[in-house]
Structure 1
Amino acid sequence: MWTDEQPRTRWADPATFRFRRPDLRLGARDPRPDRSGPVAGDRIAVRHSVRTSTAEYTLLLNAPEWLGRRGVGEALRDAVAELRAIDLTYGPNQPESLVSRLRRGEIGPESYPPLADLVDRCAAMRAATDGWFDAWAVPGGFDPGGLLGGWAVERAAARLRAAGIHDYAVLTGADLVVRGHAGHGGPWRVAVHHPTDRRRAPLVLEMAAGAIGTSGVTGRQGHVVDPHTGEPADQLVAATVVGPDLAVADAYATALYAAGPAGLAWFRSGSDYRPLLAARR
């Protein structure tokens, strides 16, 4: 089912995309961003993809002309370096990462401020989801994988803003972060496709800032487990959450996928996060 909850972004009529194509698509057979239309003359448009050991990221930048191509290139390299560094430094599958060392008891979370932030975020999401997101309820100990990708994207996006780029989109799988304007000068048009029913019209949003996190569309069976039983989650085929921060949206989507429809109760009126999709099997 598509949920009835409304995100704090503006809905657009899917019919309008017969004339105005979406800038970004999530859950489509071809997940790559649509080709952008014309770009304003005072902007520098860049599209770049990078793969780490665990994920592929696509960065779309609409940088101010005053930054120059050299400045844009430096900002892009800085953001990519952050993505690679997080993969190496915090990835639970990297034997010498800080997370792996934490799991082995060699260091404490307070040893490195970013590690402490990561652990604190996981603890906060465990509380917010009644234990359905639990980075400690996995074989081998602490595993922040349910929000690590979103955390990495948000940190890379912060590097872009620090360099003076405030109009961008960063995508990984069925997750994204957007800010500012697309190349056409308006908000980013995002089409969210149903993961299994291709006959359904996509949910269409226009976003100037925010994130969309999804769990369950990778095709890997059993990749999310019920933290209370240790068994693979099997109530939903996918769960998608929209909100301000991708790490939080990712964690909510993972928890919602594990809990099933009962997890919709977390998204009360006034919350900054909303479920877009909770598709039953």
Structure 2
Amino acid sequence: MRRVEQVMGFPVSLRIDDGDACDETADAVFAWLREVDARFSPFRPDSEVSRLDRGELEPHELSPDLVEVLDLCEDYRVATLGAFQVRLPGRGLDPCAMVKGWSVQRAADLLAARGATRFCLNAGGDVASVGGPWRVGVRHPEQADRLCTVLEISDGAVATSARYERGDHIVDGRTGRPATGLLSMTVVAASLTEADATATAAFAMGAEGIEWAAAREGCEVFAVDAEHRVFRTPGLPVAA
């Protein structure tokens, strides 16, 4: 089974190689992602995030899902000494940097719970997979038609933060200015929650984020800094 839909502002593609894959399973995945967009988007005035930001909700009124997301955001804020922030000066609450990986990993968990044993879920270039092996290309940060490397994963996730799609959109919360020390940061981890949040947080930290991400348990890193130097950890699963 293969399906592609536009959700949360980017294409999400699902491939299930199990012989008994059904439309109902795919429907559940995309229904969950649309629900996440409706509940957590800071661009929707009726979302839970927007209502919280306007002071219309008390802490005890928040859904368990939003509490979980905000707790994860706080963990990364502390771990990066403030570089990873979801409340920047002059801006509203925006947990999108956490919500994407978290929600897609939850979708992958849903697939596994429904019996899928070989699938790949790609959300705007960030991938959660089971089974495999799956080959995942890492785009060159300055040349859209080239790859820097190709990774091979089975049960795990790959996420990349870079400037090539949305420009200088990742801000270093310590300075309030766009992070420009890296051109791209790719992280391989057991879950997309970890991979995506770590890639974004490391990118926000700039060049020092490479060592920080590489030191996190279970994370492998491929990075290109602003001087075009390439860094990779020894355990990076590069395809043969």
**1:267 partner SS:** helix
After TM superposition, give the deviation of residue 137 of structure 1 in Å: 2.4
Residue 50 of structure 2 corresponds to 100
Could you say which residue in structure 2 is the equivalent of 1:148? 99
What is the CA–CA distance in structure 1 between the aligned matches of 2:215 and 2:71, rounded to whole Å?
25
1:69-218 alignment, distance < 5 Å: 72-110=22-60, 111-137=62-88, 139-181=90-132, 187-196=133-142, 202-218=148-164
Residue 272 of structure 1 deviates from its aligned partner by 0.9
Residue identity opposite 1:60 in structure 2: R
Residue identity opposite 2:108 in structure 1 = A
CA distances 1:147-177 after superposition (whole Å, capped 9, x unpaired): 2111121111122112111211111222111
- The runs of 5 or more residues in structure 2 that have no matched partner are 228-240
Deviation for aligned residue 1:178? 1.1
- Quickly say closer, same or farther: Cα 1:248–1:122, change in 2 above 3 A: same
Instruction: Report the TM-score when normalising by structure 2.
Output: 0.85
TM-score (norm 1): 0.74
- Tell me how far apart the structure 2 counterparts of residues 212 and 160 of structure 1 sit (CA, whole Å): 18
Number of equivalenced pairs: 226
CA distance in 2, matches of 1:261, 1:120: 26
CA RMSD of superposed structures (Å): 2.2
Is the counterpart of residue 50 in structure 1 residue 13 in structure 2? no
Question: How big is the shift at 1:202?
Answer: 3.6
Secondary structure of 1:126's partner? helix
Q: Deviations over 1:202-227 (max 9, x none)?
A: 42322111111111244322211121
* 1:29-85 per-position Cα deviation (integer Å, ceiling 9, x unaligned): xxxxxxxxxxxxxxxxx110111242220111112x3x3x6xx11111000100111
1:234 aligns to what SS in structure 2?
A: coil
Percent identity of equivalent pairs: 35
Aligned equivalent of 2:233: none
Consecutive unaligned residues of structure 1, counting only runs of 5 or more, are: 1-45, 182-186
Equivalent-residue separation in structure 1 for 2:76 and 2:87 (angstroms): 12
Give the Cα–Cα distance (whole angstroms) in 2 for the partners of residues 85 and 198 of structure 1: 32
* Poorly superposed stretches of 4+, deviation over 3 Å: 138-141, 197-202, 267-270
- Structure 2 partner of 1:225: 171
Q: Distance in 2 between matches of 1:178 and 1:131?
A: 31
Inter-partner Cα distance in structure 1 for 2:73 and 2:216: 22
AA matched with 1:52: V
* Distance change in 2, residues 1:129/1:166 (3 Å): farther
Larger mean Cα displacement after TM superposition, 244-253 or 94-103: 244-253
CA displacement 1:76-131 (0-9 Å, x = unmatched): 10001001110011111111111111111211454211111111111111122222
CA shift in 2, pair 1:129/1:75, >3 Å: same
Equivalents in 1 of 2:89, 2:102: separation in Å?
Answer: 19
| Larger relative contact order (CA 8 Å, sep ≥ 6) | 1
